[in-house]
């Protein structure tokens, strides 16, 4: 399968004093996009358990150009790599306002048991769902060139 693509609206409150989306709000836009994949789409496909416990262990964002309110929304393309039973990486390519790439990002995600207060392993269903979003090496190279 290819990348999961979603649009996230830019809110007036996302703007900072310099007229562009600041870092903290960019992270929130990425979080909303990621929830679309890991929670909404996963639940739609019968894997709603990820919404019960998934934490960000690491986050990296690289900016290419500013995003401002007038762009209306960002388009976020996500794929999965380094899929393991106890962690995986979500890659993001963010486009807005006609620019193919305004930012790229990655998050290291860890499944988490909220009741036990510790990391857990992905279920078979969760693992199979995430495998659908792993790009093959040729497609991954193409996605990186676009970003």
Please write the tens of the pLDDT for every residue from 17-48.
Answer: 888 888 898 999 999 999 999 999 999 988 87
Domain harbouring 36, CATH code: 3.10.129.10
Check residue 47 and give its pLDDT: 82
Residue reference for tokens 């930012």: 103
Question: How far apart, in whole angstroms, are the C-alpha atoms of residue 45 and residue 29?
Answer: 23
Task: Note the maximum CA span of the chain.
Answer: 46
- The answer to whether 90 and 82 have CB atoms below 8 angstroms apart is no
Burial 50-86 (b: 16+ CB within 10 A, else e): beebbeeeeeeeebeebbbeebeebbbbbbbeeeeee
Q: Which residues of the chain have pLDDT under 50?
A: 138-147
- Three-state SS at 42: helix
Residue 71's domain comprises: 4-146
Ranges of beta strands (E only) in the chain are: 4-9, 54-63, 73-81, 88-96, 99-113, 118-119
Q: How many domains does the chain have?
A: 1
Question: How far apart, in whole angstroms, are the C-alpha atoms of residue 135 and residue 120?
Answer: 24
Check residue 108 and give its pLDDT: 98
Check residue 1 and give its pLDDT: 66
């Amino acid at each position: 399968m290819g990348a999961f693509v979603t649009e996230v609206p830019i809110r007036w409150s996302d703007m900072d004093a310099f007229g562009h989306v600041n870092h903290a709000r960019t992270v929130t836009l990425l979080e909303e996009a990621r929830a679309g994949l890991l929670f909404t789409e996963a639940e739609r496909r019968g894997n709603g358990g990820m919404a019960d416990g998934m934490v960000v262990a690491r986050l990296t964002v690289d900016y290419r150009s500013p995003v401002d309110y007038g762009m209306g929304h960002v388009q976020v393309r996500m794929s999965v790599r380094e899929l393991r039973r106890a962690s995986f990486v979500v890659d993001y390519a963010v486009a807005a306002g006609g620019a193919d790439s305004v930012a790229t990002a990655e998050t290291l995600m860890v499944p988490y048991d909220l009741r036990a207060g510790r990391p857990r392993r992905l279920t078979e269903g969760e693992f199979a769902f995430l495998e659908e979003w792993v790009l093959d090496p040729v497609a991954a190279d193409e996605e990186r060139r676009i970003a």
